[in-house]
Structure 1
Amino acid sequence: MAPKYKLTYFDFRGVGEPIRYLLSYGGADFEDNRIKLEDWPKFKSSTPYGKMPLLEVDGKEVYQSSAICRYLAKQFKLIGSNDWEALQIDCTVDTITDLKLAISGAHSFEGNEEAKAKKIQILQKETLPMYLSKLDKQVKDNGGHFVGGKLTWADLYFASQLDTWGAAKQGKSPIDDYPNLKGLYDKVNALPAIKAWIAKRPVTVW
């Protein structure tokens, strides 16, 4: 009997979206429980550490987004062929997370507009090109995927997070100048199960 999944996260994509991608890819009929921001203060105390996402598997609750993703990747055969590939996947996912944090950090509230502008300039001119050029080469060197020349959860993680990087776009996608990343993004989102999820998911800004 297939496990019963319930994902609890905010009503936007964020770090919950890689989990939704994995569940969709795996063909899981999951409950997508979305918490409104105004309801979070009263819901927060019921969570293990005051954070989301949370995943219930047959009624048993777990937390931490990367740990959840790694567990689901094992269930759906997306972890690589051996321990070395699994390590490379983890390295890639953590690198993408570092980039995501750099983007959000540069656009976070900054009372000094001059300081904020400088942070964004560094992001645009230095941080994004450094990360994206290296990730693009990694995909090129691995036959259109991040690891092992085949689909892994690192690919799904990247594709699911890219659209949340809107603050870095400034009128275009951050990967417009990186054809290998663009090809991978399009490839993942064209997978039938992922395409179906994108078509039916709630429309949110993030």
Structure 2
Amino acid sequence: MTYKLTYFNATALGEPIRFLLSYLDIDFEDYRFEVESWPTIKPTMPFGKAPILEVDGKVLNQSAAISRYLAKKAGLAGNDDWESMLIDIAVDNIHDLRQALAGYFYDQNEESKNQKYVPLFKETVPYYMDKFEEIVAENKGYFVNGKLTWADLFFVGVLGYLNHMAKIDLLEGRPHLQGLKDTIENIPQIKLYIEKRPTAMF
């Protein structure tokens, strides 16, 4: 099978997919484009969004669905329906934090953006990050059931993007999440990918 991932030259929602493809030892085409090219590329995307993954020429969209599909192949999507649900919950919680940060970061109205700052960085961000730290501490260094799942790869994959939007190190003072990051980035296949990946805008 042939695989081609199309996404910005960034980590963000493309990186968990790259992590999973690398974990699976799949030789994939990592097609990256710069922001300036997006107006031309956007009309070619399903629903006008990226990333997309082409599998033998068939186009898949929605980053979480793509990640879940690959995670099933990798044995990282849960051993039963209950565990799979717990993984989905973890990923959705991470998405909620990402959307809160994006709502602030991409707000072009300075007045509106300033109003969001205090509740976001004094309440929302600490709340989510502290909860994540607690969950990972309780689960022996992982998000779900004390073992590696795609929720862990997803979190570490999007972490650089979250830090970029927050403009702070979200792992500071959170040793269990830092430990999770180190664990994921030292998985041999992912470590090799990270060593070879192009320099990205974030």
TM-score range, shorter chain: over 0.9
TM-score (norm 1): 0.92
Is the Cα–Cα contact under 8 Å of residues 107 and 120 in structure 1 kept in the other structure? no
Specify whether residues 112 and 43 from structure 1 end up closer, same or farther in structure 2 by C-alpha distance, changes over 3 A only. Answer: closer
Aligned residue-pair number: 201
TM-score (norm 2): 0.93
Is the Cα–Cα contact under 8 Å of residues 14 and 164 in structure 1 kept in the other structure? yes
Quick one: which of 50, 53, 72 aligns to 1:52? Answer: 50
Quick one: which of 181, 184, 187 aligns to 2:183? Answer: 187
Is the Cα–Cα contact under 8 Å of residues 52 and 59 in structure 2 kept in the other structure? yes
Is the Cα–Cα contact under 8 Å of residues 96 and 158 in structure 1 kept in the other structure? yes
Is the Cα–Cα contact under 8 Å of residues 141 and 176 in structure 2 kept in the other structure? yes
Specify whether residues 40 and 167 from structure 1 end up closer, same or farther in structure 2 by C-alpha distance, changes over 3 A only. Answer: closer
Aligned to 1:42: 40
Specify whether residues 15 and 86 from structure 1 end up closer, same or farther in structure 2 by C-alpha distance, changes over 3 A only. Answer: same
Specify whether residues 196 and 109 from structure 1 end up closer, same or farther in structure 2 by C-alpha distance, changes over 3 A only. Answer: same
One-letter amino acid of the structure 1 residue matched with residue 51 of structure 2: P
State the SS of the aligned residue for 2:182. Answer: helix
What's the RMSD between the two structures over aligned residues?
1.4
Query: Per-residue deviation at 1:38?
Result: 2.5
Query: Per-residue deviation at 1:180?
Result: 1.2
CA distance in structure 1 between the aligned counterparts of 2:182 and 2:57, rounded to whole angstroms: 35
Q: Map of 1:1-206 to 2, 5 A cutoff?
A: 3-113=1-111, 115-165=112-162, 166-170=164-168, 173-206=169-202
Segments of 5+ residues of structure 2 without an aligned counterpart are none
Segments of 5+ residues of structure 1 without an aligned counterpart are none
Higher helix share: 2
| Fraction of identical pairs, as percent | 48
CA distance in structure 1 between the aligned counterparts of 2:191 and 2:118, rounded to whole angstroms: 34
